[in-house]
Structure 1
Amino acid sequence: MPRGSKDKYTAEQKRKAEHIEESYEDRGTPKGEAEARAWATVNKQSGGGEKGGGSGKATTASAKAQAKSDSGKRAAQTRSGHDRNSKSSLESQSKSSLMTEARSRDISGRSKMTKAELIKALRTK
């Protein structure tokens, strides 16, 4: 027999458990075991009773869109701190990023260059 109160379950979960229980009983499973299996199935499918949580504030689609836009603007501000070819910009990039940039500018010998050599080559070309 299942333990605990079922008060925290939604009406849909209760109906689903009842339906599953009836199905087990129709196949000859004893009532107690059918009920236990039904609630185990409901718990597995939906994670148990109603879940509390969240801030209690409903987030509208426009609020989400505004938050996404604000996030993008903040990210763009951090990227636009210096010119792409400035000394600090090139030195802050990874070697693979510098290699990609050198490939796009068709700098020959790039595959054998060190990071410092890549930076120097990118500054001159």
Structure 2
Amino acid sequence: MPAGSNKKRERQYEHIKDNAKQYGSSEGRAEEIAARTVNKERARSGESKQASKVSTRDPKSAPQRGGERSHSGPQGPTKDQLYEEAKKKHVDGRSQMNKEQLRRALGR
């Protein structure tokens, strides 16, 4: 648990950690996810001594974003991500393909 936290943040940390473990993360990874999330929330609400610009200026908090940046939302992975996957799978003609063509070539 991050130092200097209150009871609410401790409960939030445990809840996030438990959920991460439930979804298959290792103990260490679950702790990291929980600590980063709680620290960001603390920075956004002014509870921490230091805060990065990203933490304080992000338009939505992590729970409000709800995975918007996970690349599994409505639009899925970016064209660059699809291209890199196609490159690893040695898909011919990938440099001439658009996003939809890459998606089809990869079987998505």
Structure 1 and Structure 2 fold alike (TM over 0.5): no
Interval containing the TM-score (normalised by the shorter chain): 0.3 to 0.5
Higher relative contact order (CA 8 A, sep 6+): 1
Which structure is larger by alpha-carbon Rg, 1 or 2? 1
TM-score of the pair, normalised by structure 2: 0.38
